[in-house]
A and B are shown apart, each in its own frame.
Chain A
Amino acid sequence: MSSGVEHFDERARREADRVGETIVHRGELLRHPVYTRILHWAVAICFVLSLLSGFAIYSPWLYRSLTPLFGGGALTRLLHPWFGLLFDLFFLFQFLNWVAPMSWTDADTHWVKRIREYTRHQHRIEPDEVGFFNGGQKIYFWAIVLSGGLFLLTGLLMWFDDVGPRWIVAVCYVIHDLAALMMLAGFIIHVYEGTSHQPGTFQSMTNGTVTEKWAWTHHPGWYRVVTGRNPRQAFEREKRRRAERERAMEAWEREQDDRERVKQPDR
């Protein structure tokens, strides 16, 4: 089965790359191919729609403000399960696409142990062992897998509520809510990390590329795999070059200043 999935994924990536394209400039690396990006945004759109329509029904305090977005309460109720189904469908493909790089390793356990240092920025550069995805990203992925499954199971039971006894709905909606709160927490962190907290990350999902500097800073293990270079040495080399470039720049400025002084002796 797994080889069949891999075959399908390979083909999907190839076809998507044939339709779209990813331009990798000098000093950049390909992070996410077209197929992954399309899936990501399809999942994201369905997720946000499900989230807004779901939270409208979740709480009386959000009902009045969120239901008009979908044309009233009844339409919100009608659309929500379809948004959810689409979310689960697209995420199924994303799951197949990503399940291999998302497998848990020792490096991720170490990452989770360093979570306090990570949130306080105690290290400017991630340790060499951090690969394509770090522990946090993998936790988010598996949390979506878990809650996506829970959403589907409890959602279907609430959708077709005439098949079982009445307490099933009463239980299911609590599980559905808990999964949604877990997703909300993950989503807030995900959006923050992808935009404001780590500049240079967002373009990996739009253009599909990241800079080499970004790669050796956040995912050195992956940098080593794709370039074959040592991320730490590459970083040191860049630092040296930057210092030299700055020195040269300063010298050039000074030279210019001297030249100007010669031209205008009266100053």
Chain B
Amino acid sequence: MSNPRTFQIQEISAHPGPVPGQGTRREDEVCKYIDVTTCIGCKACEVACVEWNDHPFRETTFNDTYQTMPTTEWNYYNLIRFAEDEHDGNLMWLLRKDQCMHCEDPGCLRACPADGAIIKFQNGIVDFQQENCIGCGYCISGCPFDIPKFHPKTKKVYKCTLCSDRVGQGLEPACVKACPTGCLKFGTKSDMVQIAGLRSKQLREESGFANAGVYNPASIGGTHVIYVLHDINNPERYGLPKTPLIPPSYTYWKWLAKPIGLWMGLLGILAIFFHRVAVGPRLPQPEEPPPLERQPDTVEAKRREEP
């Protein structure tokens, strides 16, 4: 796609004042906004997700909750989690739309050993490329939100794409399109953060939720899916980690210790090569003398000495 900025008007003839629109900048980063306080748990987003991604029907287990299934699955990227939360003698029904958070620093991508299996776009969408996936499952252990899911038949891992195919065509993700209450919004990261800030301020000041806030965890550089929570101090009540972390083995070990190990292996090979060159072989003793024709010819030498 050509750069739309090339047709930004730069100068206008006989035009008083500055050129309109000059200095405008396009913001690359996208974001999905989820206001859990206005979610009614209708599951329209779940249906829209299954529809858009053309996922097959999936059998589920009923375990005394309104939740469709226990966790997200390889063909069920989007799940409304229901939690019956008792706090200070009050019972609250906490509904949270669970899906990939599209982290700024994605643990799945850090953990992945396969070239090109996980990519992150400039707009912040983290996408799995199943044709390059080798099915090792490292991404599952690298994810702080337990999102990537292994498909045992294809032996590949799948997760929410933030509808990268729709976003690429200028559309919002399918779940946002289907949401009837407007608790889901989609736009640029800064816009969504601003709206989320306003909404949590409203909750704090007008609805009596003194701890309302925006979930956009800094420990992984922020996320491209942000939540407005009624109690930001305890995201665990919604099943969200307070400080999501990538295991250090996927950061320090992989990008620092692994190359050092490789270099040591290479140096080891060089070391034995030069040991052989410098010290030579350990021969069975007594050593075989060199073959006769390569020995100094004593008889010939003596003859030459004599006059």
Contact = CB atoms under 8 A, between A and B. Distances in A.
A258 B97 CA distance: 106
A239 interface: yes
B132 A211 contact: no
A12 B283 CA distance: 33
Interface string B122-157: 000000000011111110111100100010000100
Given A185-B265, A200-B284, A77 B136 contact: yes
A17 interface: no
A257 B138 contact: no
Contacts of A58: 113, 258
Interface in A64-123: 64, 73-74, 76-78, 119-121
* A interface SS class: helix
A74 B134 contact: yes
Contacts of A158: 136-137
Nearest to B297: A253
Contacts of A235: 285-286
Contact of B253 (A62, A119, A174): A174
B267 to A, nearest CB: 10
B115 A60 contact: yes
A213 B280 contact: no
Contact of A197 (B117, B133, B155, B281): B281
B247 A161 contact: no
Nearest to A167: B247
Interface centre among B253, B279, B285 (most CB of A within 10 A): B285
Contact of B264 (A74, A121, A181, A197): A181
Contacts of A6: none
Interface in A167-197: 167-171, 173-174, 177, 181, 184-185, 188-189, 192, 196-197
A76 to B, nearest CB: 7
A199 B283 contact: yes
Interface in A203-223: 211, 213-214, 216-218
Given A60-B115, A161-B141, A77 B134 contact: yes
Interface string A129-141: 0000000000000
Interface string B279-295: 11111111001001000
Categorize the interface residue count of chain B.
35 or more
Nearest to A159: B137
A73 B156 CA distance: 12
A126 to B, nearest CB: 9
A167 B141 contact: yes
Contacts of A253: 299
A63 B140 contact: no
A184 B265 contact: yes
A196 B276 contact: yes
A166 B281 CA distance: 50
Given A124-B285, A125-B285, A196-B281, 10 more contacts: A60-B113, A77-B134, A161-B141, A169-B141, A174-B253, A181-B261, A184-B265, A199-B284, A235-B286, A250-B298
Interface of A: 57-64, 73-74, 76-78, 119-121, 124-125, 158, 161-162, 166-171, 173-174, 177, 181, 184-185, 188-189, 192, 196-200, 211, 213-214, 216-218, 235, 238-239, 242, 246, 249-250, 253-254, 257
